Chain A
Amino acid sequence: IAGITQAPTSQILAAGRRMTLRCTQDMRHNAMYWYRQDLGLGLRLIHYSNTAGTTGKGEVPDGYSVSRANTDDFPLTLASAVPSQTSVYFCASTTPGGYGYTFGSGTRLTVV
């Protein structure tokens, strides 16, 4: 089934640890995005990539990094997790000029 796969589904992480959230799509979409979703704040853009080999910063990029080595994969790395990074993280993708995104099912991350 075409779509976006995110892993892990959920994770409890000790503060200060490094973690990579994985995102893979099989729709050959050019653009990919990472959002975090927090109660009362909605979905906020962390980083994006318009095409393989390019990345950009979104609204809340601090503490996160991304890479886009190929079309299908767009991992998000927390170099040294902090409790304020406790959130639900969604990966999304779209075609150029696409009207809407396809979202993954999310990764629920708790930093303790």
Chain B
Amino acid sequence: QKEVEQDPGPLSVPEGAIVSLNCTYSNSAFQYFMWYRQYSRKGPELLMYTYSSGNKEDGRFTAQVDKSSKYISLFIRDSQPSDSATYLCAIRDGGATNKLIFGTGTLLAVQP
């Protein structure tokens, strides 16, 4: 079983739709959860991070962590064509490397 699983998509929605992106993870010890956005032929950029369970909101974006079910989500409200990108969930490994473990990414296209 992979440590982080992510629906690969692709996902196509009309402008203005609410988008839900999801990941599951296997290790209940994980505490730090992130979402990255990656535009075509660019490096990933940090979008949001959350610690432990709960919600965090930033403008049109909401990150949600449910540690009981090992499930993390990113919601995008009022989606825009400029949101079209690949979205990667990531979890920080608290070991010696402090590495990030990434999902495989979900490609999102918001149609105008």
* A interface residues (Cβ-Cβ under 8 A, vs B): 4, 31, 33, 35, 40-43, 45, 48, 50, 56, 58, 90, 92, 94, 96-97, 99-106, 108
Q: Which residue of B lies closest to A42 (CB)?
A: B104
A-B contact count (CB 8 A): 60
Residue from B8, B49, B88, B92 within 8 A of A43 (CB atoms)? B88
* B interface residues (Cβ-Cβ under 8 A, vs A): 6, 8, 32, 34, 36, 41-46, 49, 88, 90, 92, 96-100, 102-105
Q: What distance in Å separates the Cβ of A100 from its nearest Cβ neighbour in chain B?
A: 4
Kindly list chain A residues whose C-beta atoms are within 8 Å of the C-beta of B102.
35, 42-43
* A40-B8, A42-B104 known; A99-B99 Cβ under 8 A: no
A-B contact pairs, 17 of them (CB 8 A): A31-B98, A35-B102, A40-B8, A40-B104, A42-B88, A42-B102, A42-B105, A50-B97, A56-B96, A90-B44, A96-B98, A100-B90, A103-B45, A104-B43, A105-B42, A106-B42, A106-B43
